[in-house]
Amino acid sequence: MTVGIDKIGFFTSPYYIDMTDLANARNVDPNKYLIGIGQRRQSVIPQTQDTVTMAANAAAEILTAADRAQIDMVIFGTETGVDNSKAAAIYLQDLLGISKRARAFEIKQACYGATAGVQMAIDHVFLHPNSKVLVVASDIARYGLETAGEVTQGGGAVAMLITQDPHILALDGQSAFHSDNIMDFWRPLYRQEAVVDGHYSTDIYIDFFNKTWNQYCYQTKRTLADFAAMVFHLPFTKMGLKALKSVVADADNANQLLHEFDFSTQYNAEVGNLYTGSLYLSLISLLANSDSLHPQDRIGLFSYGSGAQGEFYSGTIAESFDRAKLKRQVDRLLENRVKLSIPEYEKMYQSGLPLSAGEVTFDIDSDQSRFVLRGRHSDQLEYVDTKKSEQNA
Ligand code: HMG
């Protein structure tokens, strides 16, 4: 039996800024952002979207009624939780109409959370072959206006259905991981923006990649020659390139791996960091944009979450993978976004749900997404499925 990613969906905000505009506003040479960091655009999250609505918008795209009935576990990876106690997965299960006989819970370990979810889902399906597990990765990356990290912000969600006989990526079931107590990036409970030691974090990322890659090679006896492509957690696209370059120098297929890497960054360069979803957006980007990959080709995946946890694992492309369909869905979403000026972005950035208590109502008519956040009343978040409201009207 093979187990892996059967379906994959992506959602990001309908708004973005251009990195040249941001560079000009911050008196920085645009090439630093475009080439040095490797980002073209960045999603800006409006007050009507949060990690729950983005996850619901990503998952609704891929789930059929049969999937909703058959899913017996909902795993929500996020470091932008909406409550200190209640799991975002419970809201998601309800919004999507997933069977109430499912387990639903949240996992946090910075950008690594969804990978823990994927691994748990694989083990679960191996034990229970008829089950389907929904794993979502949803986050909003915030460092603050006019900070060094501002160019690496972004946000969005990836939803994956893990099943037997998958139609996208069959996972090998072999992985190597490494964890250590590292203060490279964290977010104290009183803050909406991350605290980060930026250059230290990039060094640790590369160190964890090398450790897990070497361990994986030792465990599996595989080498770079066994891989058609590698995808990375991409806080910004240059980060993954640096990691890849740290191992490919002597490989016969170095040019091929670097060529494929380019495809794996196309969507991330348009969206920015979506924390735990970034690796999986990179996978989508590779699969949708590369025209040289074939069924059975092996792809390596490097997941990294600050604090820190790293994992390298792998899978092979399924025979039945439909590249055109995936590309159509993501291209349409990105093409329909609205560009903001930098003053508009700054206003939107500061307009979200406040950390302090109080009644809040947002104008949901300004957001055409299916799932939106209407506000907070009596300390309860109020989510709306606009499709359901239309049907009830
Ligand atoms: P910085 O100090 O502003 O940038 O911060 P820099 O001076 O290091 O320059 C960046 C690159 O641009 C350099 O290239 C420059 O040479 C180049 P490099 O030497 O690195 O190859 N450059 C130019 N290139 C072309 N034309 C020019 C030009 N000028 C300069 N004119 C930093 C950059 C990434 C540190 C900052 O944005 C930051 O702190 N970001 C947030 C932290 C981050 O993303 N860390 C990544 C690893 S940790 C991780 O991935 C986990 C994370 O996702 C969180 C989680 O797990 O939850 C972050």
pLDDT in tens, 154-167: 999 999 999 999 99
Taking only the tens place, the pLDDT of each residue in 25-49 is: 999 999 999 999 999 999 999 999 9
d(CA 368, CA 46): 12
2 lines ligand 1 (CB under 6 A): no
Helix axes 198-220, 237-248, angle to 10 degrees: 40
* Residue 112 and residue 311 in contact, taking contact as beta carbons nearer than 8 Å: yes
From the alpha carbon of 151, which atom of ligand 1 is closest? 37
Pick from 180, 254, 174, 246: which is nearest to 215 by CA? 174
Count: domains in the chain: 1
pLDDT at 250: 85
From the alpha carbon of 31, which atom of ligand 1 is closest? 26
209 lines ligand 1 (CB under 6 A): no
Residue 79 annotated as catalytic: yes
**Tally of CA atoms within 13 A in the half-sphere of 189 that contains its CB:** 3
pLDDT at 123: 97
Cut 0.95: pTM above it: yes
Residue of 79, 106, 260, 311 marked catalytic: 79
Per-residue confidence at 388, pLDDT binned at 50, 70, 90? Answer: confident
179 lines ligand 1 (CB under 6 A): no
From the alpha carbon of 36, which atom of ligand 1 is closest? 12
Ligand 1 centroid to 172 CA: how many Å? 33
Question: In this structure, what CATH number is given to the domain that contains residue 136?
Answer: 3.40.47.10
Please give the structure tokens belonging to residue 303. Answer: 């997941």
pLDDT at 392: 62
Expressed as residue numbers, the domain containing 341 is 3-392
Taking CA atoms only, the protein residue closest to ligand 1 atom 5 is: 148
Ligand 1: residue of 185, 246, 279 to mutate (most ligand atoms within 8 A of CB) is 185
Residue of 111, 150, 260, 311 marked catalytic: 111
275 lines ligand 1 (CB under 6 A): yes
Ligand 1 centroid to 312 CA: how many Å? 22
Taking only the tens place, the pLDDT of each residue in 112-126 is: 999 999 999 999 999
What is the sign of the dihedral through the CA atoms of 238, 244, 245 and 246? positive
Ligand 1 centroid to 141 CA: how many Å? 15
